[in-house]
Amino acid sequence: MEKLTFLLHIVVFIACAFPSSSSTLLNDRSFEISNLPSSRAEKLIRELNLFPKLDVNVIDVTDSTLASAEEEEVPSIVERSFRFPNIVSDGGATVEDLGHHAGYFKLPKSQGARMFYFFFESRTKKKDAPVVIWLTGGPGCSSELAMFYENGPFKIDKNMSLAWNEYGWDQVSNLLYVDQPVGTGFSYTTDKSDIRHDETGVSDDLYDFLQAFFAEHPTLANKDFYITGESYAGHYIPAFAARVHKGNRANEGVHVNLKAFLQGFAIGNGLTDPAIQYPAYPDYALEMGLITQAEHDRLEKIVPLCELSIKLCGTDGTTSCLASYLVCNTLFTGVMKHAGGVNHYDIRKKCEGSLCYDFSDMEKFLNLQSVRKSLGVGDIEFVSCSTSVYQAMLQDWMRNLEVGILTLLEDGINLLVYAGEYDLICNWLAGNSRWVNAMEWSGKENFKASKEVPFLVDGKEAGKLKSYGQLSFLKVHDAGHMVPMDQPKAALEMLKGWMENSLTGVDAVTTSTTTEGEDLVAQM
């Protein structure tokens, strides 16, 4: 409580000492209203136009269908093969040909939580194709965002038809998308106590899901496994990777091929070490011409207070972390105040109104009755991004997840950190690059001394790459926060090269099921 009081005093001090840079945070009643956690969450989600119609998927168990399912002994995982309607040029492929699955997993460490997932078999059907899991950030945003707009098998057209994505990551892997934490996407719970508040709960849920999924698909358990994602998944991914590694070392359940010569985890434009990344906002903004030197110098005076607040927050996610979140966000809001309505996910673009991106076609498509029937989700409402999940994770926001990466690197597990050069919110220049170079591992000095080389795609430079040992860092040209959306071919080449241990400065070479028509929800 003393730490929290002290940090609140810091917030008030910033308001008095730096009114121009903190006015968006503390002007008049804005500290009381506009930047409280719930309002901040709603504002950020509105900026992405992600339709927070529901705070979270909490289902009333008095519903007859679900109530009967709750009273019965149910399997931990139910899954069905499916075929999306309206696929253009699929050659009349059957569900068996496609190898696409949707399912629900009953979380064992919950009162009534069910985690929804998609699985897409590799289009090549190669026996050695690895398994790649993708986690979208938020926190609280559905992985279907990436599935339809970044690296999934299909793209949504305006007429609600699906076109094959030439650069979908299922070209080189068996691909998993999970709606997590519980309450996002089609995942749901019957009890609000199941909403997670930290990376321990999130990573345990993902690990339990992975164990059940591989038990259901034993042939996949023997394949190489990679964890990928972006944005706030910069928190999820290191925690999940550490949990998998811990389970492997303790011989818990199914052994997951995370540790071998090629296996690893990849973070795209992630938030991983806030103590380094938040103080970097003024530097990136100055470098990219978003603010003047005078504005930069003014914001720099807040940096020591941000660093102190994060230090007081520590690594355990206490209440003082909420105050730290407010203090450090004055750096971001200070930049945005002077940036002239720029899209903070891609500074080349303007954020017209509050709608920086329009992902409405995804929600329309997933709400089509034919799609819902195909997936077996019943009446569960799709939640693109959940304000409640976002709020629940705020005490986790300022934690440093880089500390868990060191053991993974030392134990031979590969890490790729990549970032689009035009993203502000999780920028490459002074954010991701700084924490990667600052990690205290045995290869630190050699990594820092390694030369930056061009990353080539089709003979043209698509980025700048730096590598040593298990660690690689790639700045991707002409991309913002969502690299696979902005540079889909480069992203696919990056993934393929990294998994083949050939990511260099040269060109990369390019369960039991259910009966159709029966809702998965009804069986859970």
- Look-up: residue for tokens 């897409």? 120
Catalytic residues, by residue number, are 231, 423, 481
**CA distance readout (Å), 48 to 12, 267, 272, 479:** 29, 21, 21, 17
Question: How many residues would you count in the chain?
Answer: 524
CB 452 within 8 Å of CB 466 = yes
Residue 34: the pLDDT is 32
pLDDT of residue 31: 28
pLDDT of residue 59: 55
Quote the radius of gyration of the chain (alpha carbons, Å).
Answer: 22
Residue range 274-301, pLDDT digits in tens: 989 999 999 999 999 999 999 999 999 9
Residues contacting residue 424 through CB under 8 Å, at least 6 positions apart:
281, 284, 285, 288, 290, 335, 339, 342, 344, 345, 347
Closest Cα partner for 491 from 325, 268, 306, 282? 268
Which pLDDT value is given to residue 266? 96
- Say whether pLDDT at 72 is over 70: no
Tell me which amino acid residue 85 is: P
pLDDT at 118: 97
The domains located in the chain, with CATH, are: 1-35+291-338 (no CATH), 64-273+399-510 (3.40.50.1820)
CA angle 82, 86, 89 (to 5 degrees): 100
> Torsion over CA of 449, 307, 48 and 44, rounded to 10 degrees?
170
Residue 228 predicted with pLDDT over 90: yes
Beta bridge partners of 460: 457
Q: Which residues pair with 414 in a beta bridge?
A: 264
What pLDDT, on the 0 to 100 scale, is given for residue 355?
Answer: 60
Task: Quickly tell me which residue has 């075929």 as its tokens.
Answer: 83
Q: What is the pLDDT of residues 385-444, one digit of tens each?
A: 888 888 888 888 888 877 789 999 999 999 999 999 999 999 998 668 998 999 999 999
Closest CA to 418 of 356, 359, 357, 493: 493
- Res. 44 pLDDT band, cuts 50 70 90: very low
More confident: 457 or 56: 457
Question: DSSP letters along 99-153, please?
Answer: TEEEEEEE-SSSSS-EEEEEEE--TT--TT--EEEEE--TTTB-THHHHHHTSSS
Cβ neighbours for 369, distance < 8 A, ≥ 6 positions apart: none
pTM of the model: 0.84
Residue found by looking up tokens 């309206």 in the block: 86
Tokens of 26: 């503390």
For residue 1, the tally of other CB atoms under 10 A from its CB is: 7
Output the six-digit token pair for 387: 């304000």
For the segment 463-484, the average pLDDT, to the nearest whole number, is 96
Dihedral (C-alpha) 106, 109, 113, 116: value to the nearest 10 degrees?
-50
Question: What's the confidence (pLDDT) of residue 281?
Answer: 94
Which of 49-58, 187-196, 273-282 is predicted least confidently?
49-58
Number of H helices, E strands in the chain: 23, 15
